Chain A
């Protein structure tokens, strides 16, 4: 068993875990942060994407022990006091989610993506979205939401 200390959405946690515990299961099962979804659990679907030190990563492909000392942001860390972020607002406006299963992962990936590529083309957004499976929307509204949020400045 190994001690892990992480900061998630600004709050500090200290837990003792088995090395084989995945970060996704740690966030959901230990910390109760079930906004991070798990779909395929082998890195294909993108639903479990979170930001580790600002970088979007698959939490199902990281061990919780690897995050020791790190700062993590999950989808629960986005809205403040019920007020959606501009990207979340754009998702609502463009009807970029239906069941919402893939949405947390896409939001966390898109935030990192738009920070690094501030004015992405729709083609670049579609390429980024190749790492995220959505079975409801047909993707077009998601591309629109990310495209428009990136043009409005702060995503």
Chain B
């Protein structure tokens, strides 16, 4: 038995799930796809007293196009083909884990987990997206820039559940690119950059080398160089700060060039 003991609830309605979270307090954890939570349970890095398994809450399982936004329910798997309707999700998803983990891992779970080296939080931020959170107390929509606080930390209260993530498709003529460098396919990226270009505007975001997905102002003529001047990566066992700074320059340039090329097409 690898995880420490916990109680387990498998609600079938959203109301039951929210009540369970309200009662569980700080010690309760939401189980969605489990591709990050269960490894942490297995290694006993987390020991929640209660797991609230939301996989059978039917109202959380849909992808809906609504007012130019793609509304992705909390239990929608990363392998769901409807996600490919969103251009930046289509770019980012192949980098998320592996074929088998995407079969189970959810978009909402990855956003709520807020790993600074995860692709989907960066994609949501650069898309100008947001998170719809609900608790027994009510509901609110949180813009991605406010939602991601720091590594593994979000603006969610303990009793709040991500019920859906909202992905604006932006305007016609806007084009997206997502570039990352990982040592092996499917590994956590050492550095990642996402860009949106169109109508003479440019939006650039960085992940992995910062403690949360971060939008940066870049010089349109020298995007990579100006991005690299704004970050101070800590470095890690795999890469020095100088190397990571170099990756920022290369990947930002690559993403911007790709997005601009697509915008011209």
A residues adjacent to B (C-beta < 8 A): 2, 18-22, 25, 41-43, 46, 49, 55-58, 60-63, 65-66, 109, 112-113, 127-128, 130-132
Contacts and interface: CB of A to CB of B under 8 A. Distances in A.
B53 interface: yes
Contacts of B2: 20, 22, 25, 41
Contacts of A132: 98
A54 to B, nearest CB: 10
A131 B6 CA distance: 29
A128 B186 CA distance: 10
Given A18-B5, A60-B42, 6 more contacts: A41-B42, A43-B101, A58-B101, A58-B104, A61-B104, A112-B103
A131 B1 contact: no
A131 B8 contact: no
A42 B39 contact: yes
Contacts, number: 91
Given A57-B104, A131-B100, A131-B101, A20 B4 contact: yes
Contacts of A66: 10, 31, 34, 53, 55
Contacts of A63: 8, 31, 34, 38, 53
14 contacts: A20-B2, A20-B3, A25-B1, A41-B42, A43-B38, A58-B101, A61-B34, A66-B10, A66-B53, A112-B100, A112-B103, A127-B99, A128-B99, A131-B98
